[in-house]
């Protein structure tokens, strides 16, 4: 529409109507508010076009959708330094269980004197070459956590799980969580979603097969009692002290459990 207006102005000018053009120029001088309004309208049209079409603005719009989601797996990466303070030598041999475990394993391997492995509960066909490289090296494996883990008891000093248990029904949780505690020698750290947190519904249904179930802390505590799992008080207190000092602010629920021996 703006182009048609420019064309019509040119036709008027070509027809020799310069006095009209001068009058419009004079009027715009006397009405700066009109010019400002026209500029604002044009800016709005450009922004609207940018968001509706391909290019940078579309990418920004897509990123905003992603950041509206949450990930306890990214929380694990943020909490690594605090976990080091809480568990000390317990971080020497770590197993992470959950989606995008490749990113967590890569972060843990950067820590001094830390060995890390990962279990990806879901398909990794779309994983990048780095992740597939970790799989080929045996550091990451794909396994259904509804069934016993392919590790011996106490295979790892610490087991960390995130973004996986929220998708399991109590029927499978009764088997999976004790299984995580079985393969740990020093403890299990469970990152769980908070009630009210949102996820991308289409993505989770296509990948996980069911929507996430965000359970309250009281629900989890009852579950731990029913499955004979106890709080790992020492590391839990150190973790809470680090949080109180502002070293880390959890966006997910964090539970510290003793291993099953």
Q: What is the pLDDT of residue 44?
A: 55
**Quick one: which of 145, 142, 233, 250 has its CA closest to 191?**
250
Structure tokens at 254: 């964090």
**Quick one: which of 254, 112, 134 has its CA closest to 120?**
134
Cα gap 98→132, rounded to integer Å: 16
Which residues of the chain register pLDDT less than 70? 1-37, 39-70, 197-210
Longest CA pairwise span in the chain (Å): 96
Q: Where in the chain are the domains?
A: 72-257
Cα gap 8→4, rounded to integer Å: 6
CB 94 within 8 A of CB 114: yes
Q: Which residues contact 109 (CB under 8 A, 6 or more apart)?
A: 115, 116
> What does the pLDDT look like over 77-120, one tens digit per residue?
999 999 999 999 999 999 999 988 999 999 999 998 999 999 99
- The domain covering 72-257 belongs, at the CATH homologous superfamily level, to Vaccinia Virus protein VP39 (3.40.50.150)
Q: What is the pLDDT of residue 202?
A: 42
Q: What is the pLDDT of residue 188?
A: 98
Q: What is the pLDDT of residue 32?
A: 66
Cα gap 200→5, rounded to integer Å: 43
């Amino acid at each position: 529409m703006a182009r048609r207006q420019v064309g019509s102005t040119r036709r008027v000018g070509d027809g020799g109507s310069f006095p009209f053009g001068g009058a419009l120029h004079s009027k715009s001088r006397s009405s700066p508010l009109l010019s400002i309004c026209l500029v604002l309208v044009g800016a709005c049209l450009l922004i609207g076009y940018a968001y509706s079409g391909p290019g940078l603005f579309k990418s920004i719009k897509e990123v905003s959708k992603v950041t509206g989601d949450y990930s306890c797996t990214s929380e694990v990466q943020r909490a690594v330094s605090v976990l080091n303070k809480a568990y000390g030598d317990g971080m020497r041999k770590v197993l992470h269980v959950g989606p995008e475990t490749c990113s967590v394993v890569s972060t843990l391997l950067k820590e001094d004197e830390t060995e890390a492995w990962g279990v990806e509960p879901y398909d990794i066909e779309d994983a990048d070459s780095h992740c597939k490289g970790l799989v080929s090296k045996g550091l990451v494996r794909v396994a259904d956590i509804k069934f016993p883990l392919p590790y011996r008891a106490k295979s790892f000093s610490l087991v960390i799980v995130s973004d996986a248990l929220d998708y399991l029904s109590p029927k499978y949780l009764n088997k999976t969580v004790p299984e995580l505690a079985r393969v740990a020698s020093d403890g299990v750290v469970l990152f769980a979603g908070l009630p009210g947190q949102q996820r991308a519904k289409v993505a989770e249904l296509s990948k996980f097969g069911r929507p996430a179930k965000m359970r309250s802390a009281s629900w989890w505590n009852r579950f731990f009692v029913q499955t004979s799992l106890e709080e790992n008080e020492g590391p839990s207190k150190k973790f809470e002290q680090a949080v109180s000092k502002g070293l880390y602010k959890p966006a997910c629920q964090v539970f510290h459990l003793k291993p099953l021996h």
